[in-house]
């Protein structure tokens, strides 16, 4: 008889599979013990979304989820829904194998509403009974509540058990315009939110600042506005945000439109968060950085991650920030080929491990300077198109000058790759002869894969077998 691992060991192993739903489901079919452990992890977060249009996500409906939640409803709820002719006799007679609802640690109000609309063609009574059931379960860790046309209006904070259910809430994602005193009531129930994500719409609830002020240990903050609305004003919550200046370690701001960006405040409030370890500013218009100049006089001594995925500040301002705060930087992301900025990275960011940047075709010495000075560097992500460093030159420079721990390149190409088998053979031969030799990971992203050119995959497979290539992946870009 095979030896059975104890439950705590199995649980620790299965935790590594949390995002691999297929493998976890397979584990649940092995035996009763494996099923009990894997089901708890499978049901921790049941809300799986997929993109439907650019910038928007929607629940990928699995009818079995809502049907399983229905079986978990208490008998009085089932009878009530049967009398309303929402459920039939077969549905109310089923009993679950486990109390699945108690395993859910992530709750999405929008997805509950969307799921019910898709499967039952909108039944607010069913949504109410499901929410009442959740309020009686063990404490929730993450809550998502955004207002949109499909969100069912629920006053679930008033249901019995809500205070205990939400008392240990650590993550909240929400829109700014939730009404019915939601933020005020929530502030009376939970004071330990560590991660707060706010999507700003045309209204900012007056109680939002009360919720922010009531938290004891806010560490992560994300502020965004990705759609077009008439007006917006969120300056009232800035004093509340400033109260968390000592604890806040991660800040992300995503602003798609410049039209309603408040010119009086802009980025000045960030100067109070001197303990930041991560700062991500996703702006689609350069004018949004008007207030960024104040940051050049601040030293963020613990800053490890700095990202500008779209536009970026003026060179002189960013250079000053890197000079003051680049010493402990481990990740730097900038959609720029500015030679001045990249040379500043080489000089003032010695502990950099991951870099996203663009390299001009005539500035190969800049790349060499980064590789020579940033001896902790492990990964580079960049692009190739006209006026940028060619794929062949990039690979050749990495093979010759990259530091000993470097192992990963992600290259985006919006045209057909110019790499031929001889280029790949030369690179991997040189990589094999490095001392120390670390297996290489090559992620190729573009409209066309390296596979399109005859002979390329033969070279890649050869060096995979030799252990020179740890990972090769092609990510195809689809243009709409």
pLDDT the model gives residue 52: 43
pLDDT the model gives residue 343: 97
Q: How many CA atoms lie within 13 A of 105 on its CB side?
A: 11
Q: Is there a cis peptide before residue 436, judged by omega within 30 degrees of 0?
A: yes
pLDDT above 50 (res 54): no
Across the chain, mean pLDDT equals 87
The per-residue pLDDT for range 90-100, each reduced to its tens digit, is 988 988 989 99
**Tokens matching residue 302:** 């613990």
Confidence category of residue 321, pLDDT binned at 50, 70, 90: very high
Say which residue, 249 or 124, is predicted with more confidence.
Answer: 249
Distance of alpha carbon 85 from alpha carbon 87, whole angstroms: 6
Q: What is the DSSP letter of 224?
A: E
Lowest mean pLDDT among 39-43, 341-345, 424-428: 39-43
Report which of 161, 122, 140 is spatially closest to residue 47, judged by C-alpha positions.
140
Cβ–Cβ under 8 Å, residues 436 and 405: no
- The 3-class secondary structure across 255-306, one letter per residue, is ECCCCCCCCCCCCHHHHHCCCCCEEEEEECCHHHHHHHHHHHHCCCCCCCEE
Range list of β-strands (E), 54-206: 56-59, 106-108, 142-145, 171-175, 195-199
Cβ–Cβ under 8 Å, residues 119 and 147: no
Distance of alpha carbon 111 from alpha carbon 403, whole angstroms: 47
Say which residue, 423 or 46, is predicted with more confidence.
Answer: 423
pLDDT the model gives residue 469: 95
3-state secondary structure of 417: coil
pLDDT above 90 (res 335): yes
pLDDT the model gives residue 264: 43
Confidence category of residue 64, pLDDT binned at 50, 70, 90: confident
pLDDT above 70 (res 265): no
The per-residue pLDDT for range 143-156, each reduced to its tens digit, is 999 887 666 666 78
pLDDT the model gives residue 150: 60
pLDDT above 60 (res 205): yes
Compute, in degrees rounded to 10, the torsion defined by CA atoms 12, 18, 21, 22. Answer: -40
pLDDT the model gives residue 478: 73
Say which residue, 434 or 285, is predicted with more confidence.
Answer: 434
pLDDT the model gives residue 232: 63
3-state secondary structure of 320: helix
**Tokens matching residue 329:** 């930087």
Q: What is the mean pLDDT of the segment spanning 421-444?
A: 93
The DSSP element (H or E) to which 33 belongs, if any, is helix 32-42
Lowest mean pLDDT among 153-157, 325-329, 451-455: 153-157
**Tokens matching residue 195:** 């991660």
pLDDT the model gives residue 452: 79
Report which of 378, 367, 371, 372 is spatially closest to residue 407, judged by C-alpha positions.
378
pLDDT above 90 (res 77): yes
pLDDT the model gives residue 229: 52
pLDDT the model gives residue 1: 40
pLDDT the model gives residue 214: 94
pLDDT the model gives residue 477: 81
């Amino acid at each position: 008889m095979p030896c059975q691992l104890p439950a705590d060991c199995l649980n620790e192993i299965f935790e590594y599979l949390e995002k691999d739903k297929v493998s976890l489901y397979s584990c649940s079919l092995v035996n009763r013990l494996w099923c009990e452990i894997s089901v708890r992890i499978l049901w921790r977060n049941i809300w799986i979304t997929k993109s439907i249009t650019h910038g928007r996500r929607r629940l990928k409906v699995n009818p079995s989820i809502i049907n399983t939640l229905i079986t978990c409803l208490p008998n009085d709820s089932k009878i009530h829904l049967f009398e309303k002719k929402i459920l039939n006799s077969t549905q109310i007679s089923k009993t679950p194998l486990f109390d699945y609802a108690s395993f859910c640690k992530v709750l999405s109000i929008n997805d509950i509403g969307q799921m019910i609309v898709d499967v039952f063609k909108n039944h607010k009574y069913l949504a109410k009974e499901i929410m009442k059931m959740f309020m009686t379960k063990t404490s929730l860790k993450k809550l998502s509540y955004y207002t949109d046309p499909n969100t069912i209006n629920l006053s679930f904070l008033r249901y019995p058990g809500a205070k205990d259910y939400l008392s240990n809430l650590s993550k909240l994602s929400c829109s700014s315009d939730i009404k019915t005193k939601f933020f005020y009531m929530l502030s009376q129930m939970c004071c330990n939110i560590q991660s707060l994500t706010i999507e700003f719409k045309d209204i900012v609830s007056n109680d939002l600042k009360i919720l922010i002020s009531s938290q004891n240990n806010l560490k992560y903050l994300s502020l965004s506005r990705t759609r077009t609305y008439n007006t917006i004003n969120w300056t009232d919550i800035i004093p509340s945000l400033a109260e968390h200046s000592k604890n806040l370690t991660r800040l992300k701001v995503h602003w798609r439109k410049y039209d309603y960006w408040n010119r009086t405040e802009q980025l000045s409030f960030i100067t109070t968060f001197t303990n930041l370890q991560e700062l991500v500013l996703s702006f689609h218009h350069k004018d949004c950085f008007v207030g960024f100049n104040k940051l050049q006089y601040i030293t963020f001594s613990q800053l490890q991650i700095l990202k500008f995925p779209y536009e970026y500040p003026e060179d002189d301002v960013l250079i000053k920030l890197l000079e003051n705060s680049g010493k402990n930087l481990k990740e730097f992301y900038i959609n720029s080929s500015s030679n001045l900025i990249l040379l500043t990275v080489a000089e003032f960011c010695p502990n950099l491990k991951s870099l996203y940047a663009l390299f001009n075709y005539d500035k190969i010495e800049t790349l060499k300077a980064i590789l020579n000075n940033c001896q902790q560097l492990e990964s580079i992500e960049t692009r190739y198109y006209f006026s940028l460093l060619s794929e062949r030159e990039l690979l050749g420079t990495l093979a010759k000058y990259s530091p000993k721990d470097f192992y990963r390149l992600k290259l985006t190409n919006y045209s057909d790759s110019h790499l031929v088998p001889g280029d790949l053979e030369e690179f991997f031969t040189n990589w094999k002869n490095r001392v120390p030799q670390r297996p290489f990971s090559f992620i190729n992203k573009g409209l066309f894969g390296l596979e399109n050119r005859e002979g390329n995959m033969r070279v890649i497979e050869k060096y995979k077998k030799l252990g020179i290539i740890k990972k090769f992946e092609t990510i195809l870009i689809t243009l709409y």
